[in-house]
Amino acid sequence: MATGDHSQTSGATPPIIACQALTKDFSRGRQTAPILADVNLAVDPGGFVTILGQSGGGKSTLLKLLGGFIPPTSGQVLFHGLPLPGITPKIGMVFQENTLYPWLTVEQNIGFGFKVRGKQPAQYRQQVKHFLEHVGLFSARQLYPHQLSGGMKQRVSIARSIAVQPDVLLLDEPFSALDIQLRRRLQGFLSAIWQDMATTMVLVTHNVEEAILLGQRLIVVGDRPGRIIETVDLSDPRFRDRYDARFLALQRHLEGVIEADAYMQDSRLPSHSAEMRSTIPNPAFNPSPKT
């Protein structure tokens, strides 16, 4: 298992967004439950980090902390090297739940970032048209959210967030509810946006394949309390090919890591951990290269 400093970035440039010793507790009645414990993470400008973990592990909480949507219990988030004061348009967020405004059409939803800044429609019509075409929804621009399919809604949400050109885009399981074909199409679509716009992306998913395919770096968050249990460098282009042996080996390895973590949570018997660790498929490669 990978240990050590996960906040290490692969490049020499200072990280655009980073967190140090981040913890988050939520109170449940009289008790407080630790949801995240001591998370250190640094994201390079223009990078694509995927966060992988099982349901309820605290991935959404981590993302909300990174975007300044909720305050940490301790530790801090640094944005461009400075403490993040709160919600900022420089860090865009595509929430896990549907956040399209039901009273606005596709076109109005995508233009909402301009409207809510007090701009007149004439000032941003061109930009909205550009993003409508970019996400392939020009013909659906007059429809309301309840008339859209799940995939269309996700594309509108993403377009709405990138239209205001954030430095960092946080995406919380944007494709979870979609079938495999659509999921793959939208993954390609997101990759293309990332390459076109040079936006730094942090994407949360519980799909191992998606995490490997999209990320430049992959982080596995373990459960209860959420903490980083594995970091994988994915800059090797072979990880873009889902039939490559390296891809498959990593996929198996990560599935094992997650399963072992879940098993240890369920059994709550520390003695199982050694046994479980030996059952993790151990591929020939080193999952966390330190170079």
Partner 1 sequence: MPRQISGQPAWQASLLAIACGLVSCAVVVGIWEMAGRDSANPVTQVLPPPSQFLPVLFESDFKVGLGSQSASIYQSVMVTLIRVSLGMAIAFVGSIACGLLISLSKWSELFILPLLGLMAPIAPIAWVPLALVVFGVSNLTAIFIVFMGVFFTLTIATVAEIKRIPAPLLMTAENLGGGSFNRWRWVIIPAVLPGVFTLLRLNFIAAWMAVLAAEMTGLRDGLGTVVMTGRNLFNSDLILLGICIIGITGFAVDRLLLLIQRKFFWWQV
Ligand X SMILES: Nc1ncnc2c1ncn2[C@@H]1O[C@H](COP(=O)(O)OP(=O)(O)OP(=O)(O)O)[C@@H](O)[C@H]1O
Nearer CB in complex with partner 1: 135/218: 135
The helix (H) or strand (E) run that includes residue 25 is strand 17-28
The stretches of the chain forming alpha helices (DSSP H) are: 59-66, 106-110, 112-115, 121-134, 150-163, 180-197, 208-214, 245-267, 271-279
Q: Which is nearer to partner 1, 91 or 264 (CB)?
A: 91
Size of the site for partner 1 (CB under 8 A): 25
Task: Report which DSSP code applies to 226.
Answer: B
> Residue 225, preceding bond cis, omega within 30 degrees?
yes
Q: How far apart are CA 93 and CA 166, in angstroms?
A: 9
Question: Per rule CB under 6 A, is residue 58 in the interface with ligand X?
Answer: yes
Give the footprint of ligand X on residues 183-222 (CB under 6 A): 206
Residues 6+ apart with CB under 8 A from 134: 159, 193
Which partner in Mg ion, partner 1, ligand X, none is near 151 (CB below 5 to 8 A by kind)? none
Q: Considering the complex, what minimum distance in angstroms separates the CB of residue 13 from ligand X?
A: 29
* Smallest distance, partner 1 to C-beta of residue 159, A: 12
What distances in angstroms separate CA 284 from CA 62, 73, 250, one per listed residue? 31, 39, 9
Q: Which residues pair with 137 in a beta bridge?
A: none
User: Rule CB under 8 A: is residue 105 a binding residue for partner 1?
Assistant: no
Span near partner 1 by CB under 8 A; candidates 2-10, 100-108, 123-131, 235-243 = 100-108
Closest CA to 163 of 119, 202, 132: 132
At 265, list the tokens.
């949570």
| Stretch 124-183 residues interacting with partner 1 (CB under 8 A) | 144, 146, 160-161, 164
Say which residue the tokens 């405004």 belong to. 101
Report the site for Mg ion in 54-73 (rule: CB under 5 A). Answer: 60
- Contact positions with Mg ion (CB under 5 A) in 76-135: 96
Report what 83 binds from ligand X, partner 1, Mg ion, none; CB cut-off 5-8 Å by kind. none
Looking only at residues 12 through 31 of this chain, which bind ligand X when binding is defined by CB under 6 A? 26
* Of 5-13, 22-30, 93-101, 183-191: span binding partner 1 (CB under 8 A): 93-101
Torsion of CA 172, 174, 179, 185, to 10 degrees: -130
Smallest distance, Å, CB 118 to partner 1?
6
* Interacting residues toward Mg ion by CB under 5 A: 60, 96
* Interacting residues toward partner 1 by CB under 8 A: 67, 69, 87-89, 91-93, 95, 97, 99, 101-103, 112-113, 115-118, 144, 146, 160-161, 164
